[in-house]
Structure 1
């Protein structure tokens, strides 16, 4: 049976949650070409549906990619432009893990023709759906908010120094959303002393945040990158979930999203 490119549940709130890196499906023929490490998909954003289960109660729509970021990274531009100058580039179609280890057996990484095909088959339909839903919400409300949900290991020396804060908010240095929106989100009491937070630190937002976040045109975008230590027992395979931690961060994310739903543009 063919696996859909993404799963979509529509909502009526002015917020759309996108989850581009939780998928684990692989393109036909990939497994036999991949390394033993590569097929375990170590850079997956694990259990995101659990963390964002409050979307149902808040009537927030969600688009969740079903294919792995190793097929194509939906949070990179179609032109594969560098997002963070001076840092290792993880790529539109990566051939290395975040730790710099090979995803494919020698000589089996995708060539330019295959990359173009994956972009056509997997990347384009996802982004067409995101744009269509944002347009629908904006038509209904006069504005729309895109919330791009991610998670990553707390320590990835190849990509950043030291340990990440628990919750890393990105608004492309304030360009992708109204200041009143991100302030209202980050002021929720539920954050309190429970989690360390940062705005526009190591993660300022990827392609999704930077491309769709155009507040001057009524579309606001926020990326939330969570350190996986806030909900996993271990950040190594098989990535066991900690139910107590997960319940707490799920409730916190729900509070953040609720604030986004309640926010109204000025004027």
Structure 2
């Protein structure tokens, strides 16, 4: 088995499902701390506890890929060229300089340069995507179709990014191009029956991972699931302060959403195995 960096965790399974965890990391190597306003702000927008919420996935035979590096260092779900995936809408960059709420992450004049961003990309972004491609190729050699399921979460109320309160389940398929409609329809059906609110290709249509890897005509179906944090953690709605965010992971509180996510991943497996 090939070696990979210690910040990159890969658990290999044989099922036709790759689970990507690109934003759960909170590690910021010391060489990237220069100029940051505060450690808390730098980690504020992590996808908190998602790796625990989905820890059942490997038991289903899925392959799980996770980076421990904070998205503040480099966001592995952004277009590497720096082009916005959501033109005309507020978003954060490949190496973010603001939080989702618009707060500056760096003291003035200390933002990472183009050369520094290129180094971060080569060190962290490129290996993450190489790992995704390697596992996709490995599984496609065994299965006619596979599903890449990209796991995310975000606070429910962030006026800078979207109006109102975000639905609990935000299914992203890049406007139906990243996966077969049968798959997104099946996932939506589970969401409808869960009692949680949902939307398909709403504010979050899928980031770079979904858009670059989803090629249903080639047997690779990609779906992004952006969860509103209130669905699985005790989230104070609206602005949050350092002493209240993130709230601890509570298994009992998270259980109803986890109970819906389990059949969603099982449906991804059923779909992949049913396709010739």
TM bracket (short chain)? over 0.9
| 1:101 aligns to 2:100 (yes or no) | no
Tell me by how many angstroms 1:104 deviates. 1.1
User: Number of paired residues?
Assistant: 265
CA distance, structure 2, for counterparts of residue 197 and residue 238 of structure 1? 23
CA distance, structure 2, for counterparts of residue 49 and residue 89 of structure 1? 23
**1:50-65 equivalence runs, <5 A:** 50-65=52-67
Tell me by how many angstroms 1:28 deviates. 2.6
The SS at the match of 2:225 is strand
For normalisation by structure 1, the TM-score amounts to 0.94
Cα deviation code 1:111-139 (max 9, x no counterpart): 11100000000000000000000111111
**Contact conserved, 1:38 with 1:104, CA < 8 A, in 2?**
no
Residue 114 of structure 1 corresponds to: 116
Residue 235 of structure 2 corresponds to: 234
| 1:142 aligns to 2:144 (yes or no) | yes
Residue 196 of structure 1 corresponds to: 197
**1:41-52 equivalence runs, <5 A:** 41-52=43-54
CA distance, structure 1, for counterparts of residue 194 and residue 142 of structure 2? 37
**Contact conserved, 2:42 with 2:105, CA < 8 A, in 1?**
no
2:72 aligned residue (70, 75, 78): 70
Tell me by how many angstroms 1:49 deviates. 1.6
**Contact conserved, 1:31 with 1:39, CA < 8 A, in 2?**
no
Cα deviation code 1:72-97 (max 9, x no counterpart): 00001210111111112311000100
| 1:246 aligns to 2:248 (yes or no) | no
CA distance, structure 2, for counterparts of residue 129 and residue 70 of structure 1? 20
**1:1-267 equivalence runs, <5 A:** 4-36=6-38, 39=41, 41-188=43-190, 191-235=192-236, 236=240, 237-263=245-271, 264=273, 266=275
**Contact conserved, 2:91 with 2:100, CA < 8 A, in 1?**
no
The Cα RMSD (Å) is: 1.8
CA distance, structure 2, for counterparts of residue 152 and residue 75 of structure 1? 14
CA distance, structure 2, for counterparts of residue 238 and residue 152 of structure 1? 11
Gaps of 5+ in 2: none
CA distance, structure 1, for counterparts of residue 145 and residue 86 of structure 2? 29
Cα deviation code 1:154-178 (max 9, x no counterpart): 0111111111000000000100000
The SS at the match of 2:193 is coil
CA distance, structure 2, for counterparts of residue 40 and residue 26 of structure 1? 9
Tell me by how many angstroms 1:239 deviates. 2.3
User: Which range is displaced more, 51-60 or 142-151?
Assistant: 51-60
The SS at the match of 1:198 is strand
CA distance, structure 2, for counterparts of residue 193 and residue 226 of structure 1? 13
CA distance, structure 2, for counterparts of residue 15 and residue 123 of structure 1? 21
Cα deviation code 1:196-216 (max 9, x no counterpart): 011000000000000000101
List, as ranges, runs of 4+ consecutive aligned residues in structure 1 with deviation greater than 6 Å: none
Gaps of 5+ in 1: none
